[in-house]
Structure 1
Amino acid sequence: MRSRYSDPTFDSTAQPLPRVGGATFAFRFRLMRLFWTICWILLAAWTPSFLYPWRGWLLRRFGARIHSTAIVRSSVKIWWPGNLTMGRHASMGPGVICYNVAEITLEDFAIVSQRSHLCTGTHDVNDPGFPLKSRPISIGSNAWIAAEAFVGPGVVFGEGAVLGARGVAFSKLDPWTIYVGNPAKAVKTRNRDAAAQ
C-alpha cells in the first residue's frame, strides 16, 4: 500500500531536473520532512533504548503504522514515517537506514539488524534527467536482515527468510530460506521451528 505522500511528493514541474540541481519533491513536502527531522532529533534521537514506546508514538504522529510492541532504536534514520508499517514485535536495530521514498513494511516479528540499509529509491540511468524511481520493500513475518545488509527497491522477503550479514538483495527472497553474499544467493533452508512463537 502506498501512502498519500508517495506520489504527490514528486514535483513534476521542477526545472531543471534533479541531476542538475532541481527539486525532486514538492516544496510543501520538503518542509514537512524538515519538520519531521527536527522533531526526531529533538525528541527521539537521544532517548535510551527502553523508550521505544515513546519513539513509536512519535512516529505514529507523522503517519507511521506501528504496532505498540514494535521497536525502533533511537539511532535509526527514517526518511518519512508515513511510508512505514511495522507489525507486532517487529524491530529496527541501531543505525538502520530506512530510506522509504516508497512503502517499507515489516510484518510481525521481522527483524532488521544494526546498520542495515533499506533503500526503496533508485534512478533511471537511461533518462538524461536521472529521475528518482521508487518501489516498495516488504519484509515478511519472522524474516531477519542481519547486520549491515543492503536491501534494494522492490525486494520482497518471504516469511522466515534470512539475509546474512553484509548481504545485498535486489530480488525476491523465498520463504524460510537463508541467503548470503553480494548478490545474495540461497545457501540453505531455515528450520521453521526456530521462529515459532
Structure 2
Amino acid sequence: MATEKQKMLRGDLYTAGDPELVSDAAAASVWLARYNTASAAPASERHAMLAEALGHVGDGATVRSPFHCDYGYNIYLEDGVFLNFGCIVLDVVSVRIGAGTQIGPGVQILTADHPRDPAIRAKMLEFGRPVVIGRNVWIGAGALILPGVTIGDDAIVGAGSVVTRDVAAGTTVMGIPARVATKDDPGSRT
C-alpha cells in the first residue's frame, strides 16, 4: 500500500493532511523562514541554502526573497535560473525550470490540483500535475502558471497572464487566459 507522500509524488489522489506531508511542509516552512531572512547574505551562501531544500539547484541559480513553496524538494532549477521577488511555487509534484529562464516578481507556479467531482473533493483529496518550463524562457511579473502546463524553450509569457495550456517553444503568449500574441497586441513588439 502506497503512503500519501508516494501517492502525491505520483500525481495520484492523496490527503495533504497526512502526518508525513504535514511534517515535510513544516520543515519547508522552517527553511523558508531562514532563507527569506537571509536576503542580505552573500550569493554563495544563499545558493548553498537553496541546495539544502530544493531538488536541484544549478550553477548561478538565484531566488530572491520572499520566496514561498510547499515542500521544495520537487523544485529543479537549472543553471542561471532567476526567480524575482515574491514567487510562489506549489510543488506537490515536480516543477522543472530550464537553464537561463527568468521569472518576474510575483509569479505563481502551481502543480496542486483538486478533483472536479464534488463528492471526491469533499473527502479533502487532491492531486498534482507537473509543470515544465524550458530554457531561456521569460515569464513576466504576476503571471500564473496552472497545473500540468509545459512552456517550451525561448517562449515569453506576458506579465499578468494566466497560462492554462502548453506554450510552444519560441512563442509569446499573453492575457487571461494566455493566448498567442499577434504583432498588433500591446507589449508584443520588441
Shorter-chain TM-score: which interval?
A: 0.7 to 0.9
What is the count of residue pairs matched by the alignment? 176
User: Post-superposition shift, 1:74?
Assistant: 1.9
Give the equivalent residue in structure 1 for 2:126. 132
The question of 1:146 aligning with 2:131 is answered: no
- One-letter amino acid of the counterpart of residue 181, structure 1: G
Please identify, of 62-71 and 77-86, the stretch whose mean Cα deviation from structure 2 is larger: 62-71
Q: Within 2, Cα distance between the matches of 1:50 and 1:188?
A: 43
Q: Is the 8 A contact 1:100 1:121 kept in 2?
A: yes
User: Post-superposition shift, 1:50?
Assistant: 6.2
User: Post-superposition shift, 1:63?
Assistant: 4.6
Q: Is the 8 A contact 2:67 2:85 kept in 1?
A: yes
The question of 1:31 aligning with 2:12 is answered: no
TM-score (norm 2): 0.83
Structure-to-structure mapping, 1:31-50, within 5 angstroms: 31-41=23-33, 43-48=34-39
Post-superposition Cα deviations, 1:162-195, rounded to whole Å, max 9, x if no partner, equal 1101001011101111111001010148xxxx9x
User: Post-superposition shift, 1:71?
Assistant: 0.4
Give the equivalent residue in structure 2 for 1:85. 76
Q: Within 2, Cα distance between the matches of 1:79 and 1:105?
A: 15
Match of 2:162 among 147, 168, 171: 168
Match of 1:183 among 174, 177, 180: 177
Post-superposition Cα deviations, 1:31-60, rounded to whole Å, max 9, x if no partner, equal 12212211321x211223663432332232
Q: Is the 8 A contact 2:8 2:92 kept in 1?
A: no
Root-mean-square deviation (CA), in Å? 2.4
User: Post-superposition shift, 1:9?
Assistant: 6.8
Please identify, of 28-37 and 140-149, the stretch whose mean Cα deviation from structure 2 is larger: 28-37
Q: Is the 8 A contact 1:116 1:149 kept in 2?
A: yes
Q: Is the 8 A contact 1:9 1:25 kept in 2?
A: no
Q: Is the 8 A contact 2:63 2:82 kept in 1?
A: yes
Structure-to-structure mapping, 1:37-116, within 5 angstroms: 37-41=29-33, 43-48=34-39, 51-116=42-107
Q: Within 2, Cα distance between the matches of 1:87 and 1:125?
A: 34
Q: Within 1, Cα distance between the matches of 2:147 and 2:42?
A: 30
Q: Within 2, Cα distance between the matches of 1:134 and 1:182?
A: 22
Post-superposition Cα deviations, 1:40-92, rounded to whole Å, max 9, x if no partner, equal 21x21122366343233223223520013100112011221110100111011
- Taking only the aligned residue pairs, the percentage that are identical comes to 19
User: Post-superposition shift, 1:26?
Assistant: 2.4
Q: Within 1, Cα distance between the matches of 2:182 and 2:42?
A: 37
Q: Which runs of 5+ in 2 are unaligned?
A: 184-189
Relative contact order, higher structure (CA 8 A, sep 6+): 2
